[in-house]
Amino acid sequence: MKEVGFTTAIVHSNRQAGAEHGAIHKPIHTSVQYGFDRVEDLVGVFQGSIKGGFNYARQGTPTTAALETLITGLEQGVGSVCFATGMAAITATFLTLLQSGDHIITSRFVFGNTNSVLSTLVRLGITVSMVDASDSAQVAAAIQPNTRLVFVETIANPGTQIPDLSAIGELCKARGLLYVVDNTVSSPALFRPKSVGAGLVINSLTKTVAGHGSALGGSVTDTGCFDWQTYPNILDSYRKGDAAQWGLLQIKKKGLRDMGASLSSEHAHQISLGAETLALRVERSSTTALALAQYLEKHPAIGRVYYPMLSSHPQHAIAKKHFSAGSWLLSFELRDASDCFAFINRLQLPIKATGLGDTRTLIIPVAHTIFWEAGAQVRAEMGIADGLIRVSVGLEDSADLVADFEQALHG
């Protein structure tokens, strides 16, 4: 089929792979075991000489494989592997590709739970340098002879910091480093990390790809940009066949087998359904988020507003260059932090909840919740003020949401 648009490709993804019984939507395959008429075929699936076969659902099912094909298409990669959650995808990537004595470089504004994984890596003998990745010189200065990879997120949560995505891509290419980009907040509808040379792309499918807050899932996509023949930690068993697949093969085989955080077919199905409206939802929530950010920025009771498509954003130029819109994530500071709870309670539409990328707008005071355990010193280092409020903008009508903030600010 000729090159088609983003949503056309998604809604016809299953048909490309061959519909079963003409079913327009991929069926949910719940079988754990897969049997064969000939033992040679059973052996072939085990040994990998038969491609695309199944033997045991921990390593994948036809339903999870259909979602992997869909995600690969969204990221324009050469293959994907799905996991039970975004965290499982991140942990599996690190644990299968790194070993004791390795060094990695990450943004210092990564997602809190990813930070927790990084501290686990340190306990396993992997060293981690955390830098301000909006300045690629800081990434360059952190490179050591044993550096294996650079890990960044496209838009950080809650502060919306953006790394110098293309400069880091060029640096990784020049220095032969694997570039891993967590695309969760932007999603492939707004940005493809392949365009800046990322070798691996991670998505928490739980968030905006599913979009309905009813299923957990995560994925790793190989973009084909990285030469796995140069990567020292690929085990001999996976240094076979097409070298473009070595990395993903190791993440899939070792990640799913050893950690066992496999995506269920039921959730894969729900995520696939949600993904069909990804571009529509992201476009709408980004438009609303920008309108809300612009309204808040002008209000005297509001201090700083963090949203990539505001010209006041420190990495606005990078955002405009790479992202087709600013996403649904926005945060802002109340000048008077003591007013924080009363203000949030006056809001009628946003739901007081953690979580991101839902159909409903979600709101949370950051210092008192997701960054409470981190303590005051870490909050100060991360630039998290006591009055910082995070909003994940949903699908409500923009005028209703802005009007609700207006009444709450004047209350």
Residues that bind ligand PLP (CB under 6 A): 85-87, 111, 113-114, 153, 157, 182, 184-185, 204, 206-207, 216, 218, 356
For the bound state, the minimum distance from the C-beta of residue 280 to ligand PLP, rounded and expressed in Å, comes to 21
- CB-wise, 85 or 265, nearer to ligand PLP? 85
- CB-wise, 61 or 157, nearer to ligand PLP? 157
- CB-wise, 171 or 329, nearer to ligand PLP? 329
For the bound state, the minimum distance from the C-beta of residue 159 to ligand PLP, rounded and expressed in Å, comes to 12
Cis peptide before 158 (omega within 30 of 0): yes
For the bound state, the minimum distance from the C-beta of residue 204 to ligand PLP, rounded and expressed in Å, comes to 3
Collect all residues with Cβ–Cβ distance below 8 Å to 201 and sequence separation of at least 6. Answer: 75, 77, 180, 181, 182, 183, 188, 192, 193, 194, 220, 221, 223
For the bound state, the minimum distance from the C-beta of residue 355 to ligand PLP, rounded and expressed in Å, comes to 8
CA distances in angstroms from 176 to 172, 242, 314, listed in the order given: 6, 19, 29
- CB-wise, 219 or 223, nearer to ligand PLP? 219
Collect all residues with Cβ–Cβ distance below 8 Å to 171 and sequence separation of at least 6. Answer: 136, 139, 140, 150, 177
For the bound state, the minimum distance from the C-beta of residue 263 to ligand PLP, rounded and expressed in Å, comes to 10
Residue-wise over 276-295: b if at least 16 C-beta within 10 A, else e? Answer: ebbbebbebbbbbbbebbeb
- CB-wise, 295 or 328, nearer to ligand PLP? 328
Residue nearest to ligand PLP (CB): 86
- CB-wise, 261 or 309, nearer to ligand PLP? 261
| Residue 359 to residue 207: CA distance in whole angstroms | 10
Question: What is the β-pairing status of strands 218-222 and 200-204?
Answer: antiparallel
| Residue 270 to residue 258: CA distance in whole angstroms | 25
Collect all residues with Cβ–Cβ distance below 8 Å to 297 and sequence separation of at least 6. Answer: 305, 310, 312
- Cβ–Cβ < 8 Å for 213, 229: no
- CB-wise, 206 or 398, nearer to ligand PLP? 206
- CB-wise, 201 or 367, nearer to ligand PLP? 201
- Cβ–Cβ < 8 Å for 364, 329: no
Classify residue 78 as exposed, middle or buried by CB count within 10 Å of its CB (0-12, 13-18, 19+): middle
End-to-end CA distance of the chain: 56
- Cβ–Cβ < 8 Å for 157, 111: yes
For the bound state, the minimum distance from the C-beta of residue 203 to ligand PLP, rounded and expressed in Å, comes to 8
For the bound state, the minimum distance from the C-beta of residue 110 to ligand PLP, rounded and expressed in Å, comes to 8
For the bound state, the minimum distance from the C-beta of residue 114 to ligand PLP, rounded and expressed in Å, comes to 6
